[in-house]
Amino acid sequence: MDSIAITGGATLNGTIPISGAKNSALKLMAASILTDQPLRLTNMPRLADTKFLGRLLRELGVEVTERGEGLEQETLFHAAEIRSTFAPYDLVRQMRASFNVLGPLLARTGEAKVSLPGGCTIGARPVDLHLQALTAMGAEIELDEGYVIARAPHGLKGAEIEFPFVSVGATEHALLAAVLAEGVTVLKNAAREPEIGDLARCLMAMGAKVEGLDTDELVITGVTSLTGAEWPVIADRIEMGSYAVAAAMAGGEVRLTRSRPELMQALTEKMVEAGVEIVPTEDGVIVRRDPAVRLKAVNVATEVYPGFATDLQAQFMALMTLAEGESVIHENIFENRFMHAPELARLGADIHVHAGEAVVRGVEALHGAPVMATDLRASVSLVIAGLAAQGETTVGRVYHLDRGFERLEEKLGACGAEIRRIRDEGHEH
């Protein structure tokens, strides 16, 4: 199992291009099932998660062709014919977003058998809202030995669906199914994340009719078929925020390009409050901090978009470990999402967790130590802390990191970080 070693103390100076958003790319990939024509996705991230979903799509009969390298990566998806409507457990369990093939398969073919996604380390994240939405559209659903067996022999029908709470996954899944449903579907209390807007706009480029973009009420008028399209995956706001925090943690000046500053507005406000200089540019931001000047403690509470993203909470906690004073971090989205706190404590951080609240008292310095990644966002928070820790920090289980960060060592290394990957067979890279 690979690990990453960081020798702390180097400031970061340089440019980091931001990749396409994992959370958008996965749903756009699922959208390829909805048409028998090619869907070309540009700015496509190459990650463990996109590879997993690509394997599943191939099983279903989708041709998946990767092209280009680096900033010019694109992938062509062509579902000329759906050969199978069965998504087995061994593929779906590896990555939750695979479950989102259910709606498109049902909408296009009238049937699907998809494994339930299984557990998740950061909370329950049930799929009941997904199933309720599909049932409201007329799907017949039964659960059998861990599988969802869904049928819509006469096609899906438009419906009014009000979510009891904001759910990104359920909003996206309902949207994917509703574009081919007969009649009008209204999604109320819909999530407003930029990745949902990206998915809706791509579907519209394919011929779907969607109104209410970027609001909490989406109105979808079903069409009989969709065409192919070419679509650029939106910039990854979580990657952008993570590197912004990394630059603030290490000190120096880093320019983040190929991104949109407004996507991380809530984080920007908190970082500025903490004493970090952030300057918007035409295609991103410049993050600047004098490492000789100590950060100030700031309180944050995670909220649904456009509030402070839960996917940036671990990174911000790492930043606050060296801030002057005491910061209180409230996690309101997922239970059990402070698993990085004891690992940061191994580096010398002073963090006390009680239920959904973490109190971080800033320390003068962190000290390198072996730590273990527990989930995707926690893993990058440990890398960020390692950039500022004295001595060497080794982060284990970095397969979590590979699920959502493309060429992380390369991007940080280009800005002066002393970072290297240690392959599990003992070879360094």
Annotated binding site: 22-23, 96, 125-129, 311, 333
CA angle 36, 37, 43 (to 5 degrees): 125
Collapsed DSSP state (helix, strand, coil) of residue 357: strand
Q: Are strands 350-354 and 326-330 parallel, antiparallel or unpaired?
A: unpaired
Name every residue whose Cβ is closer than 8 Å to that of residue 304 and which is 6 or more positions away in sequence: 166, 191, 192, 193, 333
Residue of 80, 120, 279, 365 with catalytic role: 120
Long-range contacts formed by 57-62: CB under 8 A, 24+ apart: 57/29, 57/32, 57/33, 57/101, 59/84, 59/86, 59/87, 59/88, 59/91, 60/33, 60/84, 60/85, 60/87, 60/101, 60/105, 62/32, 62/33
Q: In the structure encoding, which two tokens stand for residue 243, read together?
A: 């590197």
Binding residues for UDP-N-acetyl-alpha-D-glucosamine: 96, 125-129, 311, 333
Q: Are strands 357-361 and 326-330 parallel, antiparallel or unpaired?
A: antiparallel
Q: Letter for the amino acid at 346?
A: R
**Helical (H) or strand (E) element with 250:** helix 237-250
Cα separation, 326 vs 260, in Å, equals 31
| Cross-strand bridge partners of residue 150 | 112, 141
Q: In the structure encoding, which two tokens stand for residue 149, read together?
A: 């067996």
Binding residues for phosphoenolpyruvate: 22-23
Cis, peptide link before residue 306, omega less than 30° from 0: yes
Cα separation, 379 vs 396, in Å, equals 9
Q: Is 120 a catalytic residue?
A: yes
Residue pair 148/101 in contact (Cβ under 8 Å)? The answer is no
Which value, in Å, is the radius of gyration of the alpha carbons in the chain? 22
Cα separation, 228 vs 36, in Å, equals 8
Residue identified by tokens 């000046």 is 253
Complete DSSP assignment for 267-318: HHHHHHHTT-EEEEETTEEEEEE-TTSPPB---EEB-STTSB-GGGHHHHHH
Active-site annotation, residues: 120
